[in-house]
Chains A and B, each alone.
Chain A
């Protein structure tokens, strides 16, 4: 499963997750909704240039 992973991409994903979760402490969206959001975000970031 180990491939060459782009560090900038990893950092982007880390930052976006932290942002979303911080936001969600107050917004309290359901777990499935958050998982879906995170999943979509990861797919998008990985496919990006």
Chain B
């Protein structure tokens, strides 16, 4: 992930529309934003955090510029948004988050206006990427946005790439850094797998212990039921809560709409809506057809799913039939002769050599003896028929999987298109509002109010029933514990345990092996970086929680030293991710990450600033820092040659030349 640009609209003190473009030049990969205290440096990092991960780190949670806010009338709606454009895997994405603030109340408070906004503003989040033609923008499905962002840069790791100066010194001293390191190195998959599997082994073991005991079994069954019920009730409760909030804000929204209904753009929007609706309609019937087609391919015997899934079984049969033929031949019968041939000879009364074959004579008995070891004509031809049928069925199965894959891809494709069209339709519907609708809006508002009351009642009763479930769950668990004692060993479960245990051992071993490599590498790199940054002689050890420790005596360390340590740690982490320590292309690792920092050097000695500035541009792929004027004077010596873009953050001034706190611009 490399950040191309940040756009903000009425976000805190950044009034109106403002844009910063960041340097993406690999040689000059540093962008500096220089400002005095309280100018709004911290807000930059927070704008990133809010837009990308929904984190709101402000004491006053309202994001809307306070000038704009103070001028709002009841019913007015004002947008705040932040958009981040970034490059990931050679694609350019833009993520944009909008909050729509609605003014609920405006009270005069001794000459000052006190404006109250809705607590939960409507949020609109969109993520789109630029097609390779550099023009077409393709939106990503609403439901996939957070998943997509998590793939670009997992939320848990964001702390290590977007941080303020006050946080930097703490990073390397955190109690447990394993999560960050494992996540970044993709060790988490193996770790989670072994954690889960160890529980699975336990649960298999448990099932041996109690299966013989009826009471324990009963408790176990009800435990399952209560657990499921609790889960369900919690879901319902969360839903009810959402409903409550939704209807409350809806009511306010309808109120605001009533205040100003307009007729403009309605016709245009309606026309557009009709157009989208008809496209949507045809896409939907296309989807239905595609779904049917896929199910057909699975269901209809003429596509031979039975032969595809029967492949191992049929092959087994063919093998054993061949085997059968082999043993027959060992008995030494006349090759290629069948019972029918003997029957023919007996019927005509004499053998090929001319000997008479009368019943009861020795030649007759000899011939009949031979007949017994020959395959019956019927059977052998039936086997032949079966074989050729089997081969015919199997011949049709090679493409089964790839055909199914095609069909599935087709469906996914249509579904994405429908998602896009549905979003468009939504947008148009929002524009439609004609004046005869005033009545309808009022009815809707009343409806919203009633629904809010209903949702609240639901919510209250659901909270109570969660408590009930909790008690029941506890009782069941106690009962199981009490009754849990060994009973008849179940060989079936024993097999499950053997397999699980074996896979678990393998997972653990693999995980430990890889983890060791990561730890070793990290230690080498942190030491290397630390030596370059710190003027003294100290060496560093990475402990089992990936904490950074000095290998010599533990002396008091200053904040400055802590910060140096953290920088060494982060720089190493970033460089390891970049260098693909563990993986190949398939793992989608070997990623590049930006470092976005606010006042990074506030606690660091001048000499260390110097050193850090030498290392950072080389280890990180992109460095964005908001920095104080005085720190910049030191940093610029080493950093200047790497700076691709630089901005000044300045407060606007009023007519008297006084700085305005609520209005800041980039220059």
Interface residues of A (CB under 8 A from B): 1-3, 5, 9-10, 13-14, 17-18, 20-22, 24-27, 31, 34-35, 38-39, 42-43, 45-46, 49
Contact = CB atoms under 8 A, between A and B. Distances in A.
26 contacts: A1-B498, A2-B498, A3-B494, A5-B498, A9-B499, A10-B499, A17-B193, A17-B196, A17-B197, A18-B189, A20-B193, A21-B192, A21-B196, A22-B189, A25-B188, A25-B189, A25-B192, A35-B196, A35-B199, A35-B200, A35-B203, A38-B196, A42-B496, A42-B503, A43-B496, A46-B499
B189 A3 contact: no
A39 B493 CA distance: 11
Contacts of A31: 195-196, 199
Interface string B177-216: 0000000000011101101110110011000000000000
Given A3-B494, A42-B499, A46-B495, 18 more contacts: A1-B494, A1-B497, A1-B498, A3-B498, A13-B500, A17-B196, A17-B507, A21-B189, A21-B192, A22-B189, A25-B188, A27-B147, A31-B196, A35-B196, A39-B200, A42-B496, A43-B496, A46-B496
A13 B503 contact: yes
A42 B150 contact: no
A17 B203 contact: no
A34 B194 CA distance: 12
The list of the 7 closest CB pairs from A to B, nearest first, reads A21-B193, A21-B189, A39-B200, A35-B199, A17-B193, A34-B196, A21-B192
Given A35-B196, A35-B200, A5 B502 contact: yes
Interface of B: 147, 150-151, 154, 188-190, 192-193, 195-197, 199-200, 203-204, 312-313, 494-503, 506-507
Contacts of A46: 495-496, 499
Contacts of A10: 499, 502-503, 506
A26 B150 contact: yes
A18 B586 CA distance: 14
A46 to B, nearest CB: 5
A25 B495 CA distance: 29
B499 A13 contact: yes
A43 B494 CA distance: 11
A34 B188 CA distance: 14
A17 B498 contact: no
Contacts of A27: 147
Contacts of A13: 499-500, 503
Given A1-B501, A5-B502, A26-B151, A18 B193 contact: yes
Contact of A39 (B150, B204, B498, B501): B204
Contacts of A35: 196, 199-200, 203
A34 B192 contact: yes
Contacts of B150: 26
Given A2-B498, A13-B503, A46-B495, A39 B203 contact: yes
Contact of A38 (B154, B200, B312, B313): B200
Contacts of A9: 499
Contacts of A22: 189
Contacts of A1: 494, 497-498, 501
A39 B190 CA distance: 16
Nearest to A40: B200
A1 to B, nearest CB: 5
A17 B503 contact: yes
B99 to A, nearest CB: 25
Contacts of B496: 42-43, 46
